[in-house]
Chain A
Amino acid sequence: MSVQEGPVASRLPDSLAGYWENDLVKIGATLAVVYLLYVVAGLLLGYGLSGQLNSLRRLTFLIVLYSIGALVVNLHWGYSGLFNIGVVGFMAVGVYTTTILTRPVAGQNPTGTLPGLGLPLPIAIVGGVLAAALVGYVAALPSLRLRDDYFAIVTLAFAEIIRITAKASELQEFTIFGTTIGTGGGRGIRTYPNPINQFFEGTGAPIVSAVSGTIDGPLVSGWAFVLALTVVLVCVLWLIVRIVESPFGRVLKGIRDDEEATTALAKNTGSFKIRSFIIGCGILGFLGIIWQGSQGYISPGLFVPQLTFFIWIAVIIGGAGSNTGSIIGSILFVGTIYLGPGYVRRLIEEFVSLSGRATNFPDALGALAGGDISGILLYTLDQTSALRVILTGVLLIWLLKRRPNGLFGNRREMASSIDVESRVRDRQSTDATTGGEE
């Protein structure tokens, strides 16, 4: 195969560009650069060892979770051509189902918390994943005939219906077949305890006390959970790579590139699309369980469309159709746009003494008219969440215009075992040199 030329590889010296070929090197190098930036930022902010470890833990936590989401979106859009913008809805189904299944049954639970079905966590997780996959099936089955943009609208509407249902006060607590369960409505619901935290509170407590002289105790369970999530990420990556490299995956790529041609090869494209969609939705359900569910508390406000948007931008940064790209896109997204604004704000506050904080835009504007820029600067930096979304939007549009295939967009995965295009290219260049005399 020919040497891949990409935006990064072409800027590296030849001796290094060879290593860049390796996907693990790409991911590792990107991660190392982002880690280094955060360690430097931590040093500048005067973090101790525990502070540094916690800052990196949060970074890794988000990178791993966004990577899982991005891998699924890549399976749907990058490999199967399914335009799913209801990602967050399937996550909500997974985590809400698991929560309701694990909540203690009525009468056995501490007062003031919602009852559930009292099942053990592993069974509840299986239930949550199956529920998300089932909702995926319901969403996809009739939508197969639809055009891409209609499919997008349907998935988005599904996600919104799920959010509205979770928010509805009628379902906050209700009794069905003599069992009282509930979603908690707009107030939210407490989820299940994190087994890793439980381990370090129980049998693993000596480990925590052994290190508590040098670092903060909660960091142990925090990092252990992040490592467990990384194992999940590796498993998801393995599963998706297995899928897309199998004959099944070749059909998916065929559908993405030309559905009619694939149909003409007697492939039952609808069935392939549905199966790909369901697998992805199941993984999204699991993602919700390990992400929002692990935080101890969920409410409908967590499952807003902007989370879908964030996962999508990670895929678009990396380039659809590339698993490595999805992971690197997640690293870059979390490292820069997602967590970056908060760190920039803290660094500015650390080194530049700004006074005159404005609590709203007209005040900031008034200060600016008076020749004081610190008001508007501080106001802007305080709006971290708005800034994050606006930056993401600007980046998205820029990428679509300048680099629609993302960072690794030059990478073309071939569905055939021989490179047909290269033969065509060879023939064209021969024709050009011989002057096409025939």
Chain B
Amino acid sequence: MKWKSHVPLRFIDTVRERLPFSEHAIKVAAVIFGLAVLFDMFRQLTTGELTIALIVSYLWRGLSYGLVIGLAGVGLSLTYDLLDFANFAHGDYITLSAFVGWGVAYLIAGFGQFKAGSLLFLGVGGTVYPRDVGISVTNAPVAILFGLVVAALVGALLAIALDSAVYKSMRGAGNITLLIASVGVAFILRYAAVYLFTQQTFGLTADSWSYEVGLPGGIVTITSASLLLIFVSLLMMLGVHLLLTRTKLGKSMRAMAANQQLARVTGIPSEKIIRRTWLIGGALAGIAGFMIALLQGTINYQIGWTLLLLVFAGVIMGGIGSVYGAIVGGILVGLITRVSLIWIPASFTEATGFAVMILILLTRPAGIFGGDVA
């Protein structure tokens, strides 16, 4: 029960007056900025600095990247809302399940040709190389599919196990205590991955079929990995939508997200729902992890950590607790970070995402679609 003060905060009011933080000013600034961006894009197109093909390829890459962020954000958003803490370990659920999922995919694709131990650990220490295994969406669809399922299972198991080992006994300990605990969990998981797989960056996939679209100014390559990613992401999102709207579990989850006390009074078993929420969120994180590794073609122990702040950006943009918001926010973050490449050098791609998140937090902490989160 948070009681918000209505005592005027003199200093903060001064700050708000000085900075253009009023609702109206934000909208005006956003519109002016958007127009300036569009104008500059048009100017660059006419001068030939920029081509249609380049824009389309940025949008396509942004969409695939954003779908992964959105998928990972669903779980983070739900647990953030239900348990009222930012789970900093979410990124490392992504990392570990991606590693295990890819290990299984390697095991299936290279079974009999190489030692099982080397395959399961992605050839750490230079025992197996990706070109030997030759895994890709078109060459070894079964291995990819199994890897995906395993990644989802590992993500779900990790989420459940860590909830009962760490977070469960700390319910109600305060959001900052839980946040600090989740930072501890994050570092344990990340360095467990280092312990098992070292700090090496592994190449994962071989070349595979891709489709080239000719557009004015160049060609846009659509890889089979990104097609699979978009298909799986949309399928998962549809699944989450059906779950939330058609099943009893989903309705209970929504009820708990809207008003936990009221939900408990109506007889919804809160612990059970919380466990199921972790399960779904963890599975989606696992799928996102497997997919981002497939899209990039590489994996290392920081893959989830790098993604985490962008996932936070998407979740905050969409409004904490909103599943659809997390998905849309994630896609927006993906598009923004890629399209910004037109103006901002590639070294700053992630920094752009973080900066956008900070801006959203400062201007619309309840998310750009509103929402009732204080």
Interface residues of A (CB under 8 A from B): 83, 85, 141-150, 152-154, 156-158, 160-161, 164-165, 167-170, 260, 263-264, 268-271, 305-306, 309, 312, 316, 359-363, 365-366, 380, 383, 385-387, 389-390, 392-394, 396-397, 400-401, 404
Contact = CB atoms under 8 A, between A and B. Distances in A.
Interface stretch (B55-63, B186-194, B219-227, B231-239): B186-194
Interface stretch (B38-46, B147-155, B285-293, B354-362): B354-362
Given A146-B365, A383-B195, A161 B179 contact: no
Interface majority SS (helix, strand, loop, mixed), chain A? helix
Contacts of B21: 142
A186 to B, nearest CB: 9
Max chain B Cβ within 10 angstroms of own Cβ: one of A148, A157, A312 = A157
Interface string B336-374: 000000000101101100110110011001000000000
Contact of A160 (B11, B194, B351, B365): B351
Given A142-B362, A146-B361, A401-B169, A263 B117 contact: no
Q: Can you list the 4 inter-chain pairs with the closest CB atoms, starting with the nearest? A: A393-B188, A396-B184, A168-B347, A360-B125
B194 A383 contact: yes
Interface of B: 5, 7, 9-12, 15-16, 19, 21, 85-86, 115, 117-118, 120-121, 124-125, 127, 166, 169-170, 173, 175-177, 179-181, 183-188, 190-192, 194-198, 305, 309, 312, 316, 345, 347-348, 350-351, 354-355, 357-358, 361-362, 365
B348 A164 contact: yes
A316 B365 CA distance: 29
Contact of A83 (B176, B195, B196, B198): B176
B196 A361 contact: yes
A366 B180 CA distance: 36
A362 B117 contact: yes
A160 B354 contact: yes
Contact of A390 (B173, B176, B188): B188
Contacts of A365: 117
Max chain B Cβ within 10 angstroms of own Cβ: one of A145, A264, A394 = A145
B184 A363 contact: no
A224 B195 CA distance: 37
A157 B127 CA distance: 37
Contacts of B11: 144, 268-271
Contacts of A160: 309, 350-351, 354
Given A149-B175, A157-B354, A164-B348, A393 B124 contact: no
A363 B125 contact: yes
Nearest to A171: B347
B207 to A, nearest CB: 27
B188 A270 contact: no
7 contacts: A152-B179, A153-B361, A154-B362, A393-B186, A393-B191, A397-B166, A397-B184
B345 A168 contact: yes
Contacts of A366: 117
Nearest to B363: A142
Contacts of A270: 9, 11-12, 15
A143 to B, nearest CB: 7
Contacts of A387: 191, 195
A375 B169 CA distance: 37
B187 A390 contact: yes
Contact of B185 (A170, A260, A393, A404): A393
Contact of A360 (B121, B180, B358): B121
Nearest to B353: A157
Given A149-B175, A168-B348, A396 B180 contact: yes
Contact of A153 (B190, B312, B347): B312
Nearest to B305: A305
Contacts of B117: 362-363, 365-366
A143 B190 CA distance: 29
Contacts of A157: 309, 354-355, 357-358
Contacts of B12: 144-145, 270
Contacts of B15: 141-142, 144, 270
Contact of B361 (A154, A389, A397): A154
Given A85-B183, A146-B365, A316-B180, A268 B10 contact: yes
Nearest to B165: A397
A142 B363 CA distance: 9
Contact of A389 (B85, B166, B187, B196): B187
Contacts of A156: 309
Nearest to B166: A397
A312 B118 CA distance: 37
Contacts of B347: 164, 167-170
Contacts of A164: 347-348, 350-351
A305 B169 CA distance: 27
Given A386-B194, A400-B173, 19 more contacts: A144-B12, A146-B362, A152-B86, A160-B309, A160-B350, A164-B348, A164-B350, A168-B347, A263-B5, A360-B124, A360-B125, A361-B121, A362-B121, A362-B124, A385-B191, A389-B190, A390-B188, A390-B195, A400-B181
Contacts of A401: 169-170
Nearest to B12: A270
Contacts of A165: 348, 351
Contacts of B192: 386, 390
A160 B348 CA distance: 11
Contacts of A359: 125
Contacts of B120: 362
Contacts of A385: 191, 194
A349 to B, nearest CB: 19
A346 to B, nearest CB: 20
Given A153-B361, A157-B309, A361-B197, A389 B354 contact: no
